[in-house]
Amino acid sequence: MACRGVLFSIDKETVDRLRALEGDAARVEYIQEVIEVDYFDRHREWLAETDKAWDCMHRALTDGRLEWDNGSYPLNHLILGGELLYSGDDYIISLKIPQQVSDVAAQLPSITKETFTECFRRVPVSELNGTFEEDRDYTWGWFTEVRDFWLRAAAEGRFVIFTVDQ
């Protein structure tokens, strides 16, 4: 599997549909066949790709670990955190409600490349694919797009889901 994460900014109607679906397979199918198709084709402004940087992004902005509830709110909701909509270990779907989206977005403008570099030191060396600088720059590049996405989602009072296949 690719392990490439995507954030989607969705409306309440879409959240209600996701929550109403019975079973993990139905939710993944809905995301892959409805949300991904629609957003990648017609609503790119409401998505943010993270490639594989989501892992280090979460680690850097929490406590260095890759867990559901580690770190401090609200930054621990940037990627993981929130309501889990999938219970298996081969896919992740985590939902953030508009208040959480607003709380996350409020923290993001203060994160500069310098502060991100300090946070990135939390990522265990064993989790890096290249040098510290290479992985930090790679993750920072994706983070800047994610930051802009969160600010747009918060301004519109939308929900956010993070999805990734494992």
Which amino acid, one-letter code, is at 43? Answer: H
Cβ partners under 8 Å of residue 40, min gap 6: 47
Is the pLDDT at 1 greater than 70, yes or no? Answer: no
In angstroms, the CA 74 to CA 117 distance is 19
Res 166: pLDDT:
78
pLDDT, position 136 = 98
pLDDT (tens digit per residue) in 18-36? 999 999 999 999 999 999 9
CA-nearest of 8, 42, 31 to 150 is 8
Question: Quick one: pLDDT at residue 93?
Answer: 97
| Residues 33-90 pLDDT 10s | 999 999 999 999 999 999 999 999 999 999 999 999 999 999 999 999 999 999 999 9
Q: Which two tokens mark 22? A: 């019975």
pLDDT of the residue at 3: 86
Tell me the per-residue pLDDT of 94-152, one tens digit each, with 9 for 90 and over.
999 999 999 999 999 999 999 999 999 999 999 999 999 999 999 999 999 999 999 99
